[in-house]
Amino acid sequence: MARKQPPLRVIPLGGLDGIGKNMTAFEYGDDMVLVDAGLMFPDDEQPGIDLVLPDYTHVLENEGKLRGIIITHGHEDHTGALPYLLMDLTKKVPIYSSKLTLGFIEGKLAEHKLVAPKFREVSDGSHLNLGAFNIDFFSMTHSIPAALGVFMRCPAGSVMHTGDFKLDQTPIDGVTPNYQAINKFASTGVDLLLSDSTNATTPGFTPSEAAVGPQLRHIIKNAPGRVIVASFSSHIHRLQQVCDASVAVGRKVIVTGRSMVTNTKVARELGCLHIGQDDIIDAFDKTDIPDDKIVILCTGSQGEPLSALSRMANGAHKSLTITRDDTVIISATPVPGNEKSVGGVINALSKIGCTIYDKSNTLVHVSGHGSQEELKLMLAMAKPRNFMPVHGEAVHLRAHAQLARAMGIGEGHIFIADNGDTLEMCGGAVRWGEPVDSGVVYVDGLSITDADPFVFRDRKKLASDGIVTCVVTVSRRRTKIGEIEIASRGVSFAVADEMNSEAQDAVRTQLEKLQKTGGPSVEQLRKGARNALSNYLWNATRTRPMVIPIVMEV
């Protein structure tokens, strides 16, 4: 009797609940391939958290099957979780990507003091076999060079993964999407398409990256003083256009911000960013160059508090400050959740009085993701039998699914998944499978921790109402209440003088009541002190600071 063929399991572990932390596992029998390992930055509901990672427990539980990790391009939302994943894996797994992406990853691993695993460079047209998977790579255009799509086949069927893309006909580096390859794979049959959904709610076509260049050059040429350009440090095409415009009008480019310095160095060494050695300068090496001969490339387009732009705007940068004679270009769109931070930086710059350009008043930014017409073109070229939108929030996934319906894909062949959901493919047919454990983990300083709602609740409470401590001394047999001291931090009122005395009386009264019940425990005294002080503060101030009771036996 012939052995039953296992299904191909497609398991999105991240990227389907927001813009970021993209990670998808493909599992067939005893073989598994992971595509992307990204992170997401925290929002206001996650105070104190540094980074948000996908929960890759399923990968660790099945690492014996893992044959390789494929990274489609070098953005943080596709590479940022790699250091943490590699630290948790017990074996070295090869990483496959383009030369530039591997260069960025190598720098990232060095920051974490990790020895780089086996790097395997691939490019447009590359083919490799990983266990049961036959994998082909094809070029795509995005806001970073060397972005790749992936087409993989196994005995259960075929899958095309676009990665992040837009269909740019005039890319800065001249590398257009490989339409021939996409149509070739379509002719052999694409059983399942996974396609970028980030701009699925945006009508029309996304403008070419080349459209930004003339505007940048016009601003840089006519600015009376220095020009400060804030952009993603990995947006090499944008950085190239800034460099080209600067050199063309006789300005030197000064680079500041750790990731900007690192990425421009890597991109230049790999031949992906072209500017002469004499035309690019580190901020700390700046000589006495006239202001009207300077362009500053910096980080901070997302309003990050410690970024170069934020520090310059607040007068905290070690070597650069912004004056009213300067011109600032914010050449990026705020990632969802960062709008408030970006607005804060713009307000700080406005107080200085400098000239500010962003996408709201000038064409200094275009998206790296395809809009609706490009997404429909991808569906038309790939002709998939089944479709799963990926890389986006729920609204984007559903909008992309609606485009697929309009393109003639049947309702039963469109799968709107959540992280941890599983699709199973047999003979090219796709159905829902058993989900796996999923979620997020947080990077909190040096700790990697699961989501703890109590920690977030306490941090929000501290941020909104402050903290009040109450230290009570009692006799060892807890028959006598001694001194009661109350102190506060971060509250909008002073727990002192008359209020302090009233608060102490409220606590003492409650504890004396507990004494009359007979030998209260230390824990009962703590609880009584907390409740008494919390109730008093609410009645007196209508706020509920966090109350920390401390009972000391003397």
Residues tagged active-site: 196, 369
Q: Please give the helix or strand (H or E) that residue 24 lies within, else none.
A: strand 23-28
- How far is 358 from 216, CA to CA, in rounded Å? 11
**497-516 helix and 522-541 helix, angle to the nearest 10 degrees:** 140
Structure tokens at 309: 């732009």
- CA 538 to mean position of chain CA atoms: 39
DSSP 8-state secondary structure symbol assigned to residue 285: G
Yes or no: say if 449 and 442 are a contact pair by the CB < 8 Å rule: yes
CA distances from 542 to 54, 492, 536, 539 (A): 39, 11, 9, 6
Beta strand 127-130 with 95-97 is unpaired
State the burial class of residue 346 (Cβ atoms within 10 Å of its Cβ: 0-12, 13-18, 19+).
middle
Q: Please give the helix or strand (H or E) that residue 82 lies within, else none.
A: helix 82-88
CA distances from 310 to 42, 104, 307, 336, 347 (A): 18, 24, 5, 19, 11
SS3 assignment for 348-380: HHHHHCCEEECCCCCCCCCCCCCCHHHHHHHHH
Yes or no: say if 406 and 398 are a contact pair by the CB < 8 Å rule: no
CA distances from 259 to 76, 108, 231, 423 (A): 11, 10, 11, 37
Structure tokens at 493: 């009122």
In 429-517, beta strands by DSSP E: 429-432, 440-444, 447-450, 467-474, 481-489
Q: In what order do the strands lie in the sheet with 95-97?
A: 119-121, 95-97, 66-70, 31-35, 23-28, 8-14, 423-426, 429-432
Yes or no: say if 491 and 468 are a contact pair by the CB < 8 Å rule: yes
State the burial class of residue 16 (Cβ atoms within 10 Å of its Cβ: 0-12, 13-18, 19+).
buried
3-state DSSP call for residue 440?
strand
Beta strand 31-35 with 23-28 is antiparallel
